[in-house]
Amino acid sequence: MSRGPADVHAPAALQVLITGGSGFIGRHVVALLKAAGHHVRVADLDGFPDKSVDSVTGDLCDRHVREDAVTSDIDAVVHLAAATSVLGSIERPTHVHRTNVEMTAGLLELAREHDVSAFALASTNAVVGDIGQRTITEDLPLAPLTPYGGTKAAAEMLLYGYAGAFGLRTPVVRLTNVYGPGMAHKDSFVPRLMRAAACGGGVQIYGDGEQRRDLVHVGDAARAMVLAVLSWPTGPVIIGGSRSYTVNEIAQVARDTTGRAIAAERVAPKPGEMPAVVVDIARARSRGFQPSVSLVDGMRSAWADFAPSPDGHGSVDARD
């Protein structure tokens, strides 16, 4: 059988390290890689729930933890571990630099020492900053608005340097807002909507709510990470749901999906907020990626983790 560009099955089973594998996207990446017959190792601050999965639990900013994670049997790395809060990066920029830049540099160096063949990074479209209402493509210059965006841009540059000097294949996946099952611990807009729906509360909407956002389902985001580490060449690829919605529209889809009235309180925009996220995913499509989940179906899948159970008990944390 011929293998198309979207095929996640490698000719031989690979040993893949997933940093941040206990997190929201990481758990989906682990499941996909395992289902495709690859061997996985997770390295994360938090333990992986399935104890049969090879795991290194600890802080990857610590060299000894990194050395336990990146060993000579590792063929490829999916690098997801990061400080992910944009607003948190404004409050604690040095912490974010240490985690997103220095930790990445340390992992890359070990990857080089152990002849790892591919190192895929989860990055963000926030690396391009304020481009008004224009569509984001991979060719735009990097001009991030926050330490989070800045550290992701810096990490991208480190990857390209290792590709140029040492031949490491370093695909970069620039994700839009990821949502779906397993995000009960997150603090982004969709889980805020879900929590508000579950508790009868409301959400804050920054500005007039007419800013446009692209949401990509976690299953699609994880598939993109797997395609990238297995086959995509060095360089950035934008991954999104391919359609942008206003924040007001997203809130309305959440009301329709959950059947709950979610109140909206308008507050002043936060620093570092991008005025619009409208992305062109043509490059991803040319490499076999296709978003497969509609916003309505995706919102329903996210709600399942938050909806109170029929016996009246509260929501569960889908991570456990």
Ligand X SMILES: NC(=O)c1ccc[n+]([C@@H]2O[C@H](COP(=O)([O-])OP(=O)(O)OC[C@H]3O[C@@H](n4cnc5c(N)ncnc54)[C@H](O)[C@@H]3O)[C@@H](O)[C@H]2O)c1
- Kindly list the residues in this chain that would bind ligand X in the complex (CB under 6 A): 20, 22-26, 44-46, 59-61, 80-82, 84, 99, 103, 122, 124, 175, 177-178, 188
Q: How far is the CB of 198 from ligand X (least distance, A)?
A: 19
* Burial annotation 187-215 (CB, 10 A radius, 16+ → b, else e): ebbbbbbbbbbbeeebbebeeeeebbbbb
* Closer of 14 and 222 to ligand X (Cβ): 222
Nearest by Cα to 116 from 155, 50, 69: 69
* Closer of 2 and 96 to ligand X (Cβ): 96
319 token code pair:
């991570």
Contact 29, 80 (CB under 8 A): yes
Task: Count H helices and E strands in the chain, helices first.
Answer: 11, 12
Q: How far is the CB of 200 from ligand X (least distance, A)?
A: 26
Q: How far is the CB of 215 from ligand X (least distance, A)?
A: 9
* Closer of 32 and 81 to ligand X (Cβ): 81
* Closer of 261 and 294 to ligand X (Cβ): 294
* Closer of 122 and 154 to ligand X (Cβ): 122
> Distance between CA atoms of 160 and 155, rounded to whole angstroms?
9
DSSP secondary structure letter of residue 102:
I
Backbone angles phi, psi at 164, to 5 degrees: -65, -45
* Closer of 26 and 150 to ligand X (Cβ): 26
Cα 108 from chain centre? 19
146 token code pair:
């926050």
Q: How far is the CB of 148 from ligand X (least distance, A)?
A: 8
> Distance between CA atoms of 285 and 239, rounded to whole angstroms?
9
Q: How far is the CB of 261 from ligand X (least distance, A)?
A: 26
Q: Are strands 15-19 and 76-79 parallel, antiparallel or unpaired?
A: parallel
Q: How far is the CB of 12 from ligand X (least distance, A)?
A: 27
Q: Which residue is nearest to ligand X (CB)?
A: 23
* Closer of 7 and 59 to ligand X (Cβ): 59
> Distance between CA atoms of 205 and 263, rounded to whole angstroms?
10
What is the DSSP code string of 85-100? -HHHHHH-HHHHHIII
Q: How far is the CB of 69 from ligand X (least distance, A)?
A: 9
Tokens 């779906």 found at = 180
Q: How far is the CB of 259 from ligand X (least distance, A)?
A: 25
> Distance between CA atoms of 155 and 83, rounded to whole angstroms?
12
* Closer of 264 and 318 to ligand X (Cβ): 318
* Closer of 7 and 46 to ligand X (Cβ): 46
Q: How far is the CB of 175 from ligand X (least distance, A)?
A: 4
Q: How many CB atoms lie within 10 A of CB 15?
A: 16
Angle of the 147-166 helix axis to the 103-113 helix axis, nearest 10: 20
